[in-house]
A and B are shown apart, each in its own frame.
Chain A
Amino acid sequence: KQEVTQIPAALSVPEGENLVLNCSFTDSAIYNLQWFRQDPGKGLTSLLLIQSSQREQTSGRLNASLDKSSGRSTLYIAASQPGDSATYLCAVLFMEYGNKLVFGAGTILRVKS
């Protein structure tokens, strides 16, 4: 069974700090990996998608890396702001499963002002 694990489960940092969220997955045969943000009671906002052939993607203060061989991805958030407070979800599209995204349990981030 393919699994996605996110560490830490929760993180609290002061405003302005740079931070890293971690995602690991059990099989290197993937189509892509996506990072999402979810605010309480809301749907998902796609942050970054990294295709299997790529090593990283950047959008503003966010940078996501992908190391398929080790089954790891990191989401780096620079100069964190209170508005970054949310749950961050990592999801992997495994080749074995074809269509199905497998989600991690998420990291709850709180940025204190």
Chain B
Amino acid sequence: GAVVSQHPSRVICKSGTSVKIECRSLDFQATTMFWYRQFPKQSLMLMATSNEGSKATYEQGVEKDKFLINHASLTLSTLTVTSAHPEDSSFYICSARDLGAVAYEQYFGPGTRLTVT
């Protein structure tokens, strides 16, 4: 089946620093990738939609200058949390849509736990 990886799986950083999270589709091409955020005991909330070769589309209330998204190839999207603060601590999950799939199915990565101290 389609596999999506994320790196790192867990990161701890100091307040004010930036952190980059990678999302890769390992065995398929993805023109569209999605970034979600999940707070403890809550469901996933879509942050942005990342399209290869174009600017990302951000959901209402998500700061585009704080959460920088780059989708440079059909298999890689990155999310950079700039000037991180403790309130950015969360579980970040990416997903990718298979270019060749007919059912609009999204495949999810294992998530990245970000802790800002």
- Report A's interface with B, CB cutoff 8 A: 31-32, 34, 36, 41-44, 46, 49, 51, 89, 91, 93, 99-101, 103-106
Interface secondary structure of A, over-half rule: strand
**In contact, A103 and B109 (Cβ under 8 angstroms):** no
**In contact, A106 and B111 (Cβ under 8 angstroms):** no
**In contact, B93 and A43 (Cβ under 8 angstroms):** yes
Docked Cα-Cα span, A44 to B49, in Å, equals: 18
- Tell me which residues across on chain B come within 8 A of A89, comparing CB atoms: 43-44
**In contact, A46 and B107 (Cβ under 8 angstroms):** yes
**In contact, A105 and B108 (Cβ under 8 angstroms):** no
In the complex, besides A32-B103, A32-B105, A43-B6, 17 extra interface pairs with C-beta distance below 8 angstroms are: A31-B104, A34-B106, A42-B110, A42-B111, A43-B93, A43-B108, A43-B110, A89-B44, A93-B104, A99-B32, A99-B97, A101-B95, A101-B106, A103-B43, A103-B44, A103-B45, A105-B43
Cβ of B85 under 8 Å from chain A:
no
**In contact, B49 and A41 (Cβ under 8 angstroms):** no
Cβ of B42 under 8 Å from chain A:
yes
- How does the 8 Å CB contact mask read for B45-71 relative to A, with 1 for contact and 0 for none? 110010000000000000000000000
Interface size class of B (residues with CB under 8 A): 20 to 34
Most buried by A among B32, B108, B111: B108
- Tell me which residues across on chain B come within 8 A of A41, comparing CB atoms: 91, 113
Most buried by A among B105, B107, B113: B105
